[in-house]
Structure 1
Amino acid sequence: MLFTKENRLGEIQRQFGPEVTVSSTYEQLYEAGIVPGQFLAIASPEWITEGAQEFILTRFRHFSSYPACDSNDSGHPSYELSARIMGSCSINPGTGKLSYHAGFPAYGALMLAASCACHVLPESIMRALLALSGDAGETFELGKVRWGEHIGKHANTVPVAMSVNEVVGKRTAMFGKTRLGKSNVVKLLMQGVLNATRESGHVGQLVFDVNGEYANDNPQDGNFSIASAYPERVQVYFLSTQPRGDGEFLRYNFYDIPERALSIFSELLTPSVLEIPEVRNFLMIRLPALSALRNARADGSAAAFRKLCLFWTLLHDAGFEPGDTVCTEVSGRGLINVGFTPALRMAAWQAIRSKAPPPMPASFTEMTEEIHVLSAFSLKYANDPNLRVGRTELFDEEDRVMQELICQTKGVGPYFLRECLQFHSSRASNFLHDMLRAIDTGKTVIIDLGAANERIVRYFSRIISIAVFQQQEQKFITNTLAGRYVQIYFEEAHMIFPADAGGKNTTDIYARFAKEGAKFGIGIVYSTQSPTSVSYSLLTQTENFFIGHLSSETDVDALASVQSLFEAVKDDILQFRLPGFMRVLSYSRRFVLPVQAKRFDPRERR
């Protein structure tokens, strides 16, 4: 028998819609040791269909005592248990297979029958209930069922597992006050995906590590991290000046990407610098790509090279170290064919340096010196005939903007660019290309943004997210997704999915993640302290919720408005603030489950 006299709590006394009152005694309650939030069963021996025992699943809310009315009673009070119906279940005693149906059961009106009683849920049924999943797939353990901060007389040790398929390609939210275990649960999800895909490699992960918790070893994790626990499957990119382990710099070589450099500068420079008129004029310049030097006509190639030499000189003056590519380009071409005629060079060197010109530049350093002399001459003697080729001026308006910065004629020099120096390396690779390739082969890429401010976090998060989305979208269009997924983790989600962004820009990359990501095999895990600080439209699209302690009724009401199942546990979320204690509503489960998350253990790698 599944429901016996030993786990019986009492008879059904009253029923009003989904609310049920059970009469019980002190002895029964003491022996059961139940606590509010615990699952209970209402069952009758008569509720058997085709050999399967049916029962009603309820959640215990509270109890109250009242004086006994029976004249034969010695005056000891009786107790009323208040519970709320969650749905109905049926379980085959032989196979242990359980099915769950939400809502009020058809036989609910029979609960007042004399044979019907309320029971503590046996552990075997609890395990069967937790094994329910709409997605078959490899599972990983999240922790154990915990009904409250005070766990009662009998601690429940039933483990809670989650299918990897519930996470991959889905939207998962982590909410709760700081220091209460959100990051630990995120590590469990990352580890679960890594372990489940160790052979197939069909899921790549991208982690925006705002606080450096996943890239750097932590004493509370045994001086390990996700990165060090899986060194062969995790690639870390650092913004700091010194990468740890096998990490790489998150850097550009601005010399090699002139066509994109100014748009990047406009993102990375502080707002106060961007307000300077000379800086605004500079950022509006359209610089040619290096390929333009080879693909353009002879005169076009000369003009493009002149413009690039001005830009490279500006970078050099700001302290940016040139790489091998640009040095080879300069030494290979020289300045012999860029319109710097012998007459112009003689006039410029005599006027600016009071000496005859040296041989035509053949190295990067010589090129920058030549540019300095020619720029100063061009600005000071703008009407000199040597600065014209026929009726065309040698330097155009864009060139003059850079010349004024190089020569600091208006008090603004190249040093404003030093804000971006931390993002430059002469040995930088195409990190976007490298990241996409790693993710596509099932690796986890961690972007350590621990040293970055909010503006920098927004920038790198956006450009990398766009690259990932475009790659997955292209696979979808060409029918080459082939069951491959990308799972993206966002911390401080209020910076990425702000509440006031909903509906304003449906083409924003994050709005597209929320609405179209699943179609393209993209899942997101986002965490922050407050549900009301993120986009409401994202909340409505989210399939998995992990909710720690919240102190605001507004936040809890927001959750209940997008997932009505949280209505029944609002008080618990507001009261309980135990680290790692989560209310979990997952994609395949149709009820909120209280879980004490286990601690991330890097030794559980497979």
Structure 2
Amino acid sequence: MSLVNNLLTKDLLVKLVQKENFIGWVYSIDYDYAYIMTNDLWKANALAVPHNCFLVAATFDPEKFSTVSIEEQEVILLRVVGSSKLPQDDDLIRTKIDYFQQQQSAFHNINSSDMDDITLSQLQFGGLQCKVLGTFYKRDGELYLGSDLESFATAARLNVYRPRREALEIIVNYVDPLRKKKVAEEAKDLGIEREIKPFKIGTVRYTSTDRLHRKDEEEKVPVYIQPSDFLARRTAVLGMTRTGKSNMIKQTVSVVKRVSDGSGINIGQIIYDTNGEYANANQQDKGSIADVYKDDVIRYRMIQTPGFKELRNNFYTQLSEGFSIIQQTIRENISNPSGDIQTFLNTSFDEPDKAEKSSHNRWKVKVAIYRTMLNKAGFEGGENFKVKIPVNQEVINAVNQVAEEDDVELQDPRSGISLTEAELWFTYARKANKRSKLLSSSKKPWLDDEAVAMLNMLVNKNDNDSYINGYKVLVTAKKYHSPHRNSEVSEEIYEYLKQGKIVILDLSVGNPTLREAISKQIAQYIFEQSMNIFINGGTPPNIVAYIEEAHNLIGKDMDLTETWPRIAKEGAKYKIALVYATQEVSSVHPNILANTENWFVSHLNNQKEVKELSKFYDFEDFSRSLIRAQDVGFVRMKTLSSPYVVPVQIDKFDPELEKGKLNKLS
């Protein structure tokens, strides 16, 4: 029976002490370490004592707990970190060597006929070095864990046990009562009214070799996680390629989805899918996130693909978004833009208040020139576009007069003209404007400096009619434009996230530079929208963002004012959770690492990365194991609610099993 359903039948503190799993005594202890004398037979009876396994030490007999004094009603939690030397070890080693030197067969076993009983018994004893993790004790009927020792008695006889099954389940799933109350409060802040039970994420696994301590299903102790730990928090998924990072992210997505469905609140999730494994089913996984949650997944791609939405924006309709990309590409290609191009780069296409009629009309003129430039630069989709240019009759007459000199008849721009016709009209408008800066009867010219600079770029000439690149500087941004989109992609994605959808950005195809630029643009929009809602007194939507190759986005040398570091550092305040995966712990910004609440660490292949990781929590205890063990899905897990690192074999994400769970919920 699961621990969750069977906690009231026996005192939890007593349950931690299993007499049948006795493995030795503490022969030395201080505030940080305990040293244990154990025996081969006791270890065998307890199904081995693996490296990094939990042990418990207590002075009381669990069958006589009612008679135990208050001082002794505690259980010390330990973790095996190595072996220790007993005082007689050197003498016993000499005895072993003498014995082996006398043997004539390689397969001759030590037995009582070869050696006296006392010596044989002594050879079976050994020492273990253990880290003190804390002290379990009772208060107000609840189980508490102090993260240290309040005191220790040098002369006390501390019996040591390896907890298995139910006792181990208590330890690996322990959540402090105060933390439980905090979880409930945080859930309410996130809009979760119903109690969300913990979800199983895997089973306890101490070492790569798991022949004994995981010999059957009964010995595989389930590990649960608190769903609220992942909302408005930062989660690191660290490890080498092919060690289970993607599987961990899929499990997290499924946990968050079940929280959303179970609590009745919308939790949007956005996955930056660099390899296309979340958006597309593959042979290895026999399914994908998109396949499991068909009705709740929205997929995007850089190129037109059936079943995917277009990731790129339409520059003709998404003015500010398209222009920001143009600004970026021009600055990347021109180190010191000057003159008309610099004036153009400083232009804003944000729409002014319509009540300010003069300003709004000037904005319309600039938008018309901008769209005309796009069309001339070859941005697809302009042939069906029409613009209306708000000018008075005096301007119309002045422009027509210049055109008539070349025997050219112009269309009336106020009624709506094509971009090709607009190009011709603006060409003569520029000439007319050069003749008189004050064509209208108003005090202000109808073209401001920004509009003049754009007209110069449209015809590739500056004010002196000398040649400039002009509209041609826009050409490099053509690959970022799509004529098929009617709404701004960042705004559309944010709306889906507010609805609780799972948005997958398939970044496995398309231009890498383009992917990075659009990814950043979407992230920035999400962050700024949620921040604005929060600042204005509203409640931002719950959003979880997943990124792989995180060192490229929140690297250690990045400025914390950049988009991704800001999301990692400040996003929690605006209810944006971040799950980031990388192979390189040391390459992630130290400020982000320091503020990460949840950790899932698999195999790391060098001491530099392990040393960096060892700065956090008790990961140092696992330094040898992290380098040696390369098993897929074998992680060392530290969550917000867990007081210590737990070694876990993460369950394999099973699309069919997940579909079954969804069917039960529905």
Please give the TM-score of this superposition, normalised by the length of structure 1: 0.83
Q: Give matches, 1:457-472, under 5 Å.
A: 459-472=517-530
Aligned partner of 1:216 in structure 2 is 280
Q: Give matches, 1:193-592, under 5 Å.
A: 193-199=256-262, 200-222=264-286, 224-238=287-301, 240-245=302-307, 247-258=308-319, 261-269=322-330, 271-273=332-334, 275=336, 277=338, 280-281=341-342, 283-286=344-347, 288=349, 295-297=356-358, 304-322=363-381, 327=386, 329-330=387-388, 337=393, 339-341=395-397, 344-345=399-400, 347-348=402-403, 350-351=405-406, 355-357=407-409, 359-360=411-412, 366-369=418-421, 371-372=423-424, 375=427, 378=430, 384=435, 388=439, 397-409=449-461, 410=467, 412=469, 414-426=471-483, 427-451=485-509, 456=514, 459-477=517-535, 479-481=537-539, 485-501=542-558, 505=560, 508-561=562-615, 563-592=616-645
Letter in 2 for 1:423: Y
Q: SS at 2:160's partner residue?
A: strand
Q: Is 1:128 aligned to 2:180, yes or no?
A: no
Q: How far off its partner does 1:80 sit? A: 1.9
Q: CA RMSD in A?
A: 3.8
Distance 1:566 1:419 in 2: 48
Aligned partner of 1:29 in structure 2 is 43
Label 1:546 to 1:399 Cα distance change in 2 as closer, same or farther (>3 A): same
CA contact (8 A) 2:635 2:650 kept: yes
Label 1:485 to 1:574 Cα distance change in 2 as closer, same or farther (>3 A): same
**The one of 110, 134, 139 aligned to 1:87:** 134
Distance 1:386 1:162 in 2: 70
Aligned partner of 2:5 in structure 1 is none
Q: SS at 1:219's partner residue?
A: coil
**The one of 136, 149, 156 aligned to 1:104:** 149
Q: Is 1:177 aligned to 2:240, yes or no?
A: yes
Q: How far off its partner does 1:74 sit? A: 4.0
Consecutive unaligned residues in structure 1, runs of 5 or more: none
CA contact (8 A) 1:376 1:403 kept: no
Q: Is 1:62 aligned to 2:82, yes or no?
A: yes
Q: SS at 1:489's partner residue?
A: strand
CA contact (8 A) 2:243 2:631 kept: yes
Distance 1:338 1:532 in 2: 66
Distance 1:578 1:279 in 2: 60
Label 1:168 to 1:369 Cα distance change in 2 as closer, same or farther (>3 A): same
Q: SS at 2:580's partner residue?
A: strand
Distance 2:411 2:21 in 1: 99
Letter in 2 for 1:439: L
Distance 2:144 2:164 in 1: 16
Label 1:85 to 1:387 Cα distance change in 2 as closer, same or farther (>3 A): closer
Report which stretch shifted further, 405-414 or 428-437: 405-414
Q: How far off its partner does 1:287 sit? A: 5.1
CA contact (8 A) 1:143 1:596 kept: yes
Distance 1:228 1:72 in 2: 65
Letter in 2 for 1:312: R
Label 1:581 to 1:448 Cα distance change in 2 as closer, same or farther (>3 A): same
Q: How far off its partner does 1:184 sit? A: 1.3
Letter in 2 for 1:214: Y
Q: SS at 2:370's partner residue?
A: helix
Label 1:579 to 1:271 Cα distance change in 2 as closer, same or farther (>3 A): same
Per-residue Cα deviation, 1:27-64 (whole angstroms, up to 9, x for no partner): 33344322211112223335776589742221122336
Report which stretch shifted further, 122-131 or 285-294: 285-294
Label 1:326 to 1:17 Cα distance change in 2 as closer, same or farther (>3 A): same
Aligned partner of 2:654 in structure 1 is 601
Q: SS at 1:500's partner residue?
A: coil
Label 1:368 to 1:567 Cα distance change in 2 as closer, same or farther (>3 A): same
Letter in 2 for 1:87: G
Q: SS at 1:588's partner residue?
A: coil
Q: Is 1:9 aligned to 2:1, yes or no?
A: no
CA contact (8 A) 1:35 1:152 kept: no
Report which stretch shifted further, 143-152 or 248-257: 248-257
Distance 1:232 1:485 in 2: 19
Per-residue Cα deviation, 1:108-148 (whole angstroms, up to 9, x for no partner): 5354x2xx322221211011223323346332221111111
Q: How far off its partner does 1:307 sit? A: 3.3
CA contact (8 A) 2:322 2:481 kept: no
Letter in 1 for 2:76: I
CA contact (8 A) 1:258 1:287 kept: no
Q: How far off its partner does 1:473 sit? A: 3.7
Distance 1:406 1:221 in 2: 53
**The one of 216, 240, 255 aligned to 1:192:** 255
Q: How far off its partner does 1:525 sit? A: 1.4
CA contact (8 A) 2:605 2:627 kept: yes
Report which stretch shifted further, 68-77 or 197-206: 68-77
Q: SS at 1:242's partner residue?
A: coil
Report which stretch shifted further, 164-173 or 398-407: 398-407
Please give the TM-score of this superposition, normalised by the length of structure 2: 0.76
Consecutive unaligned residues in structure 2, runs of 5 or more: 1-13, 96-114, 184-195, 462-466
Distance 1:325 1:465 in 2: 32
* Aligned sequence identity (%): 25
Distance 1:599 1:108 in 2: 45
Per-residue Cα deviation, 1:451-471 (whole angstroms, up to 9, x for no partner): 466654554444433433344
Label 1:201 to 1:452 Cα distance change in 2 as closer, same or farther (>3 A): farther
Letter in 2 for 1:593: V
Q: SS at 1:227's partner residue?
A: helix
Per-residue Cα deviation, 1:93-117 (whole angstroms, up to 9, x for no partner): xx9x754332125345354x2xx32
